[in-house]
Amino acid sequence: MAWGILSLFVICAECKPGDAFFIRFFRDAALSDTFFVEEDTSIYIPLAGQISLAGVEKEKAVKFLEDTLLSFYARPLVKVYSLSRVYMAGQVEKPGPVYLMPSEGFIEAVAIAGTKDRADLARVKVIRDGKTIGVDLRRPKTGETPHDGDLIIVPKSPWPTLMEVYYVLAGVAVAWSLYLNMRR
């Protein structure tokens, strides 16, 4: 098989359905993808096949997958990173789970999910362990990072968009024009 370098990013505390692995093949980018643990707690990785992770702890799954992938490549380099899964809600284009590298923060989570026109980035709420934390993404603080399982809610801005103001003013202008024409 071809000489390859790959990087394996892991997303799971204990391997369970819905957890995901991102595998980056540096020598063949077309193979790089995110792979999810299926209902039977196995994962299908091309070239390696179906791999069972039933009852396997995170550290053991990482080592097991490293060993399995090493057997399919001549002299590969494998590096494992633990990712966190946060959930996005509110004024975002893609609500639901978002997977983040350890170096990524709230801004990256919101960027991945995308925002709608009326998103208020100054009043983002994070629900962590039943507590609500306010985060201002216009002025992020150093050290504020998402934790695995956080729910990030981007609220709707109380202020209208410029387009909404334009429509209101245009309507008022038309009404005023009609009123003035009727008075003649």
Residues 72, 106, single domain; the answer is no
Residue 45: per-residue pLDDT? 82
The pTM of this model reads: 0.67
At residue 12, does pLDDT exceed 50? no
Whether residue 99 is found in the same domain as residue 147 = yes
Residue 166 lies in a domain: no
d(CA 40, CA 88): 27
- Spatial neighbors of 103 by CB under 8 A, at least 6 apart, are none
Range of 140's domain?
84-154
pLDDT score of 85: 87
What pLDDT is stored for residue 76 in this prediction?
Answer: 58
